Every structure is written in structure tokens, then in C-alpha cells.
Amino acid sequence: MKKFWLVALLATVTSLLIPGADWPMQSGSPQRSGWAKSEHRLTKSNVNSLSLLFKYRADNQARGLSSLTAPIIDGNLITYRGFKEMLIFGASSDKVFSVDADLDKLLWQAQFNTQGDKGQTQAPTPVCPGGLTAPVIMAGSSSASMHFAVDAAHAPAAARAMLPRPLRPSPYFPPLSQSIYPLRPTTFTELAAVYAISSDGDLHIVNSSTGQDLIAPIKFLPPNSKVTAVNIHDNTVYATTSGDCDGYQNALYAIDLMNTSKPGASFGVRFGGFAGTGGSSIGNDGTVYVQAAYGSGDSMKNYHETVLALRAKTLQVKDYFTLPGKAVNQKSVAAPGITPMVFSWKGRDLILAGGGDGRMYVLDSRSLGGADHRKPMFEGDPVASRSKDYDGNGFRGTFSSWQDVDTQNRWIYVPLAGPPDKSTELPSVDGEPAGGSVAAFKINGSDAQPALQPLWVSREITSPAPPVIANGIVFALSTGTPARIAKKNGEHYTVAEWQAMATHATLYALDALTGKQLYSSGDAVPGFSTTGGLAVANGRVYFATHDNTVYCFGLMKEQPQLAEHN
């Protein structure tokens, strides 16, 4: 027993020098880049050895097509056994789960009490399921500070005496109940707090060690909203809603956590919500970018398929770019679209957007569309097929991007629902991906005139989730859900009809430079995924399926404790 504790303590000291990597939110960052920069364990030479490490079945009741949210990873919780990697996700029954990813064991479960708030006035539907729908997020990286959660009740006295002391005062080293007031701008980031929005619209800021609210829940959104995405920057939380649920207009909401006595801000859209699963992206200067199908606000009048730059915290319109072409109609508004992405180019922020016309546009953050709001820096040829009759074809989810630190080359990856556009000749198309695929591009051109060079289109990946790039590998998830979003007459499918059309999720690993398939999970996952969110950190890949299960893939030879567990 003494030997075990000495080994455990040695692991703790060693792990202090090798902090775990995080995946703090959907698409990995406020810019929605999809780049797991800190992942180095999975390589092109070993990724073909991926296998299912575990599947965690959560105690949750699905509501319509809503069950578990996309997972996030906190890789830096320090205990007497060393750094813990926490797998965290929300659930439709107003719960948040934290699972020890090293041992496949539940650490804590938070149940939000919403009984005293306004009940849902409409029955759950595929569009408005009710319950908790928003992915949980963290602010920044847990590696920025060392937060401790010591289980003193189970550690021997000799081990407790040798436990490392925190580098600065922390409410995670005894006592856990220590007050966090007065709040400082760095408080929540240092604590790697978890943010979740319950079905009553309250924002919960949760202790990542215990699942308890760090402060009282904050009234944030209308109750029973379908929250599609959450983002955070400079202690301001942003959330987008869709479906006009319970009669509330779709909007982007913002609340400044350092000034909760002041009402939050909102920016509404007439119909269609905001494009993509990321909702919003945030530039390095705090500017918030969204793409609206048709909206109104501030001194501007109406927008049709417009990328908007909004001021941080207030959501006032700074600038906008209206995509060319005819005004959108109801059938194309219904298409999910893709969230604009922010990326760095030659020392400044550029914005990548995709339109219903199947083209991609590169915009300069200093002036999105010039004096007439219609001139992009770059306009590409059609890549995605246009959506018609509610078939859902086109750009989907969020973009992904990474930059080679040696060559400074930057690559872009785009999930496509349905087939690629047939009018444009794309190089290296792997077969005929009718149900969906991932397309890759490289950024060329001058400082003033960047351009997108098409490289390859992947094998068929049905209704792909946003890809994640790690160490030269593109991880892509075939969600198994149909691309269609409604019947030809616009009537929504029932949950039973949707489930009958769905197949099963499949995880793929592709070479980021060539698109060559390096790995496929085959039939290992029986369920389909409606969250469409991958998390990649510390040699593991995670995603959730509609049957309330989170899957973890990794290298079994590096996880002997899970091999014994299975």
C-alpha cells in the first residue's frame, strides 16, 4: 500500500510538469477554429491503432432529438492521484455530468432545479425540444492555473502531508467552501469554471471540482429557449437561440459577468436564426461575428444572409457584409448553414464565411465588405451544393483551420452536407460523396489578397460534424443523421421518422494534407449523433450519441487501467 502511494505521489509531481490539454468548448475556441493545438499523442503513425476505450451511459431522458450536449475536456484538475482529465457534458434533463476520463468513473453530477420557473407552453418538438440544449463551456485553459481538488478523506495521512501546495491561494485547496468574492476579472478563468444554461434560461457558473454553483444562477435567456451555442470572451457570455421557441424571437444574447446588475444585451433576427452550430465567433479584439439569414437591429434596416460584426458586450452593429445574390427564401433560410470563423493572417483577423450559394468568402475584419458592404477580400467558386426543397444540402456546422508553425501555411476544412457542387471541378475527390464530405483548402495569395486553393474532398462522410485538427490529422465524425431538415412541403419530421432515417455514427481520421483515410471506427458505434461535436485532448477522441452515451476512443496500450476496466 505504501508503495502505491509513493507511485501516486511521484505521478503527481511528474504531472505538475506536464499539464493536461483542454477542449474548453465546441470547436475548441471562441474563434471556432476546431484546432487541438496541444494534442501530440495521436500521430499519423499510430492513429490507425485507435480503439474504443469506453462508453459512458448517462442517466438522462432524451427530449425529442435532444439528449447529451457536445463534450468538453478539463485536463488539469489536480488530486492526490495527479492530474485528472475530466470529461464534462450537459444533458437534456437539466443535468451536467463530470466523468473521470482516466477511469470511466462519475466524479459528480449536477441537477439544476427549475421547478419554480415558467413551464414550457408548447409540447416538445424536434425543433423546440425543451430541456437543457446548450453545450457547456469553460473559459480559457485550465492549464493557466493549478486548481486543486484534494480528496483528503481517502488519502492516508502520510500522503496528505506530502501533497503539493498550490502556487497561489485557491478555493480548491481546503477549504472548498472558501468565498470567491470579491470577484476579479481572472476569477472564473483561474478556477476553470464550467458554464451551463438550464432550461429556465438561467446561467450557472459551476465549480469544476464539485458541480456546485460558484455564485447564484443568473437570469439570462427566456425560459425554454433552444440554445444552440454558447461562447465567452472577457468575462462576457454569449448565447444564440433558434426555433422561435415558446414564442420568443431568435436572438444572440450577451451578459457581462463583472456587471450583472446591468441588463444584458440582445440582437434579434426576423427568422432563420444564426448560421451553423457555433452560433457566434469572437475576434481577438472581442468583436462578435454572426451570420444572420434575415434580421433587424440598431440603425440598420434589414439584412438578408449577412455576416455582422457586433460590438463586445453591447451587441451594437459595427459593420456587415451582405452576401451577393437574391434575398433568401423560407426554404433556404431553413438550411442550417455554417458559422463564420475567425483566423489570423499576416497579423490581423480575417473572417471566413459560407453562403447558401455554395461559395466561401474571406472578409477583412477592418472592413467586412467595403463601403457598400458587398465587396469581400476573396470570393470562391461554388463548393457546396445549394439547398432546395428542405434537403439541407450545403455548408454545415463550423469551419476548422490550423497553421503549420514551421512553414506558416494555413489550411481550412469545411463540412459539406449532401454532394459537392457539380459546376466546379474540385481536385482529388474520393469517390462520389453524395451524403456529405469534408473539403480541404490551403490559403494562398498576398497579404492584401488571400485566396483559397482547393486541395481535396474526402470520402463520403454522412452529415459530417465539424472536423477537429490535431497534429496533422483531421478527425471527422459521420453523425449518421440525414442531411434533410424537413419534408418537401416544409413539414417537420417526427422524432420517430427521423430515427428511422438515421444510421450510425462513424469516427474517421484523415491525413490533413492529402485526405487519405488513416482510421475508421466502422460499426463500433450503433447510435447516431445529433450533437455533432468532437472533443480531442490528451490522446483521446470523444463524442456523444442520441442514446445518452459518450464514446471515448484512444490508444489502448497507453491506457492499461481502462483495458482492465473493460
pLDDT tens by residue, 395-453? 999 999 999 888 889 999 999 999 999 888 888 888 889 899 999 999 998 888 899 99
- pLDDT digit string, tens, across residues 222-241: 999 999 999 999 999 999 99
For residues 127 and 136, the answer to whether their CB atoms sit within 8 Å is no
- Give the DSSP per-residue string, 529-547: -SS---EEETTEEEEEETT
Confidence of residue 563 (pLDDT cuts 50, 70, 90): low
Provide the pLDDT for residue 387: 85
Q: Is the dihedral of CA 268, 274, 279, 280 positive or negative?
A: negative
Q: What is the pLDDT of residue 408?
A: 85
The arithmetic mean of pLDDT across residues 508-517, rounded, is 96
Could you tell me if residue 32 is left (phi over 0), alpha (psi between -120 and 50 degrees) or otherwise beta?
left
Distance CA 293, CA 315 (A): 17
pLDDT at 171: 38
Q: CA quadruple 118, 123, 126, 131: dihedral positive or negative?
A: positive
Distance between CA 257 and CA 550 in Å, rounded?
Answer: 31
Counted residue by residue, the chain has a size of 566
436, 420 contact by CB (below 8 A) = no
The percent of residues above 70 in pLDDT, for the chain, comes to 83
Mean pLDDT of 157-176: 37
The string of pLDDT tens digits covering residues 240-286 is 998 888 888 899 999 999 987 778 899 988 777 899 999 999 999 99
CA distances from 556 to 50, 487, 563 (A): 7, 43, 7
Closest alpha carbon to 132 in 73, 200, 56? 200
**Which grid coordinates are listed for 189?**
478563468
Cα gap 129→125, rounded to integer Å: 5
**CA R_g for the chain:** 23
Reduced to 3 states, what is the DSSP secondary structure of residue 295? strand
Given this model, what pLDDT does residue 300 score?
44
Q: How large is the average pLDDT for residues 87-113?
A: 95
Cell of 119: 413551464
* Cell 454532394, located at residue: 419
Confidence of residue 184 (pLDDT cuts 50, 70, 90): confident
The pLDDT of residue 561 is 75
Q: Does residue 495 sit in helix, strand or coil? A: helix
Superfamily classification of domain 2-565: YVTN repeat-like/Quinoprotein amine dehydrogenase (2.130.10.10)
pLDDT band at residue 165 under the 50/70/90 scheme: very low
Q: Which helix (H) or strand (E) holds 417?
A: strand 410-417
121: CB partners within 8 A, 6+ apart: 224, 246, 247
For the four alpha carbons of 288, 292, 297 and 303, in that order, the dihedral sign comes to positive
Q: What's the confidence (pLDDT) of residue 272?
A: 76
| 455-501: pLDDT as tens digits | 999 999 999 999 999 999 999 999 999 888 888 888 888 888 888 99
Residue 152, pLDDT > 70, answer no
- Preceding omega of 175 cis (within 30 degrees of 0): yes
Q: Is the pLDDT of residue 564 over 70?
A: no
Is the per-residue pLDDT at 137 higher than 70?
Answer: yes
Q: Which amino acid appears at position 171 of this protein?
A: P
End-to-end CA distance of the chain: 24
**Mean pLDDT rounded to a whole number for the chain:** 84
Q: Return left, alpha or beta for 539; rule: phi > 0 is left, psi -120 to 50 is alpha, else beta.
A: left
pLDDT band at 293 (very low <50, low <70, confident <90, very high): confident
pLDDT at 278: 95
Taking the C-alpha atoms of residue 269 and residue 398, their distance in angstroms, rounded to an integer, is 20
Segment of 22-26, 267-271, 343-347 carrying the highest mean pLDDT: 22-26
pLDDT given at position 144: 42
**Could you tell me if 53 and 556 are in contact, meaning their C-beta atoms sit under 8 angstroms apart?**
yes
317, containing H or E segment: strand 317-322
- In 29-178, which residue ranges form alpha helices assigned H by DSSP? 157-162
**Which residues lie below 8 Å from residue 158, measured CB to CB, with a gap of 6+?**
2, 5
Q: What are the angstrom distances between the C-alpha of 538 and each of 81, 107, 249, 565?
A: 17, 19, 40, 19
Is the confidence at residue 315, as pLDDT, over 50?
yes
- The pLDDT assigned to 161 comes to 41
Question: For 517-540, what is each residue's pLDDT tens digit?
Answer: 999 999 999 999 988 799 999 999
CA dihedral 43, 46, 47, 49 (to 10 degrees): -160
Q: What is the mean pLDDT of residues 13-22?
A: 56
CB 455 within 8 A of CB 515: yes
536 closest CA partner among 478, 463, 466, 480: 466
Q: Is 418 helix (H, G, I), strand (E, B) or coil?
A: coil
Q: What are the cell numbers at 445? A: 495569395
Residue 81 or residue 479, greater confidence: 479
Calculate the alpha carbon distances from 164 to 6, 12, 15, 77, 83 in Å: 13, 8, 11, 13, 12
Note the pLDDT of residue 19: 57
The whole-number pLDDT of residue 169 equals 37
Cα gap 523→226, rounded to integer Å: 31
Distance CA 159, CA 9 (A): 7
Cell of 142: 485550465
State how far the Cα of 145 lies from the Cα of 200, in Å rounded to an integer.
32
Distance of CA 328 to the CA centre of its chain: 27
Under the banding of pLDDT at 50, 70 and 90, the label for residue 140 is: low
Mean pLDDT for 7-32 is 67
- Single-letter residue type at 405: V
246 versus 366: the higher-pLDDT residue is 366
More confident of the two residues 76 and 236: 236
Of 330 and 283, which is predicted with more confidence? 283
β-strands 288-297, 300-310: how paired?
Answer: antiparallel
- Asked whether residue 565 carries a pLDDT value surpassing 70, the answer given is no
- Residue (of 465, 464, 467, 414) closest to 442 by Cα position: 414
Q: How many CB atoms lie within 10 A of CB 366?
A: 10
Q: Is the pLDDT at 374 greater than 60, yes or no?
A: yes
Within 10 Å of residue 544's Cβ, how many Cβ atoms?
Answer: 29
To the nearest whole percent, how much of the chain has pLDDT over 90? 59
Q: What confidence category does residue 509 fall into, taking pLDDT thresholds of 50, 70 and 90?
A: very high
Cα within 13 Å of Cα(265), Cβ side: 19
**Which pLDDT score is estimated for 159?**
36
Q: Is the pLDDT of residue 148 over 80?
A: no
